[in-house]
Amino acid sequence: MAISHDSNETSYLLPPNTEDWEGHNIPDFVYGQKELVPEGIQWPRNTPSLPDTLPLSRFDSALCSAWRQRMELGLFRYRLGELQTRTLPGAVGFVAQLNVERGVQRRRPQNIRSVRQAFDPEQFNFNKIRPGEVLFHLHREPDLPGVLQQEDILVVINVSPLEWGHVLLVPEPARGLPQRLLPGALRAGVEAVLLSSHPGFRVGFNSLGGLASVNHLHLHGYYLAHRLPVEGAPSKPLDPGGRLHLLQALPAPGFLFYTSSPGPDLEALISRVCRATDYLTDHEIAHNLFVTRGGPPGKTSSSSALTGVRVILWARKPSFGVKEGEAFNVALCELAGHLPVKMSQDFSSLTEAAALALIRDCLLPPVQAEEVQAALVALTAQEEQ
């Protein structure tokens, strides 16, 4: 049941007259420390199908009501119904979904040639979207202890949605930032997960060469009403302080960062992750990142309690353009165990072994993977100096 709202609260809905959209003031969603909830959000016994079947936070209510209105107004490239979903038999627990329309209707990826490619204002970017696609500005109150002032984050619909509530978090679009992760963008993504009371609201980032289709800084956020393997996958520490872990389980090994408290601990995690992504970008190594509620590092399991936030980073082979003939393309959600499949015949025949083969084909060769691991461990050690 949704939280009730006072009649004088901010409305995140567009005016009924389309002629008024151009001059419509984008509403602000302002949140404080008390709304960042690291613990106490758990999966219900019966998994819900849509986010608004669970108690909603103020953030969920704003996002879902505005997103649903834009769907009803026809601002998306297709109308997203409830997607056919199945868990692939096997040890991993892949969640496969059939999303034919996204495979057909989504915008063609830009011509990306480098992980460090500069922003090109002539290409499509988020300064060119229609006014109705913007839901709200995401602002943190400026007085949170130990935290720098956050830049302006625009929350906009993804017009080719993967799932319900699929949005993009775009930091200060007028600055024309390339698709390179920055601390303010990551902070907004992690805090969006903490603002949601739905355990399946996830945020992610694709680098250039990691299947980012637009070279303009953005993160993805969306609801998926299913557990994913990475929430409780076991890990081993890579440094004595336990700040960097290696996620050992399938679908793919990745670097795990974890926090259970907003404030200074979260700021340290953001700094640590962005040092890692800076290293990868500077060395032309494509990467994907996924933010989800999950269990602490160590010997956890798929049914572990969600005690904090996991940030998982995968270094991978660069992939420029879309491979049309495969069941799915490997990016942030596929590495986490969520497989949006483009064709019905692939959806019905896809096996765990076939999915793992596609994912493994995108991972770094062992020697390069070991070099990256050593470099990130060394970066983590520099924190103590």
For the chain, what are the domain ranges?
29-382
pLDDT at 21: 81
Q: What phi, psi does 337 have (nearest 5°)?
A: 110, 5
Which residues have C-beta within 8 Å of that of residue 1, sequence separation ≥ 6?
55
240-248 contacts, C-beta under 8 A, 24 or more apart: 241/380, 241/383, 241/384, 242/297, 243/268, 243/272, 243/380, 243/383, 244/272, 244/376, 244/377, 244/380, 245/297, 246/373, 247/312
What is the model's pTM? Answer: 0.94
Does the pLDDT value for residue 168 go beyond 70? yes
Instruction: Please state, in angstroms and rounded to a whole number, the distance separating the CA atoms of residues 75 and 157.
Output: 9
pLDDT at 109: 76
Nearest in space to 311 (alpha carbons), one of 224, 148, 187? 187
Average pLDDT over residues 279-296: 97
What percent of the chain has pLDDT above 90?
75
Residue predicted with more confidence, 367 or 5: 367
- The burial class, CB within 10 Å (0-12 / 13-18 / 19+), for 237 is middle
CB of 236 closer than 8 Å to CB of 248: yes
- Which amino acid does the sequence have at 178? P
pLDDT at 143: 63
Band (268; pLDDT cuts 50, 70, 90): very high
DSSP 3-state of 256: strand
- Cα angle vertex 21, ends 19, 26, to 5°? 160
DSSP annotation of 222 reads E
Q: Strand (E) positions, 195-332?
A: 201-206, 219-223, 235-237, 245-247, 254-259, 286-294, 308-316
Least confident of 13-17, 64-68, 344-348: 13-17
pLDDT at 142: 76
Q: What phi, psi does 61 have (nearest 5°)?
A: -60, -45
Instruction: Please state, in angstroms and rounded to a whole number, the distance separating the CA atoms of residues 227 and 231.
Output: 7
- 5 counts as catalytic: no
pLDDT at 129: 95
Instruction: Please state, in angstroms and rounded to a whole number, the distance separating the CA atoms of residues 17 and 4.
Output: 26
CA atoms within 13 A on the CB side of 139: 11
pLDDT at 150: 63
Which residue, chain included where needed, has tokens 């020697």? 367
Does the pLDDT value for residue 25 go beyond 60? yes
Residue 135 CA, chain-centre distance (Å), reads: 17
Which residues have C-beta within 8 Å of that of residue 368, sequence separation ≥ 6?
none
pLDDT at 324: 67
pLDDT at 332: 97
Instruction: Please state, in angstroms and rounded to a whole number, the distance separating the CA atoms of residues 257 and 273.
Output: 7
Catalytic pick among 166, 198, 216, 218: 218
Least confident of 11-15, 64-68, 276-280: 11-15
Does the pLDDT value for residue 127 go beyond 90? yes
pLDDT at 10: 76
Average pLDDT over residues 46-67: 82
Average pLDDT over residues 253-269: 94
Average pLDDT over residues 147-153: 69
- The CATH number fitting domain 29-382, selected from 3.40.50.460, 1.10.260.40, 3.30.428.70, 3.40.50.800: 3.30.428.70
Instruction: Please state, in angstroms and rounded to a whole number, the distance separating the CA atoms of residues 62 and 273.
Output: 29
Does the pLDDT value for residue 3 go beyond 60? no
Residue predicted with more confidence, 108 or 269: 269
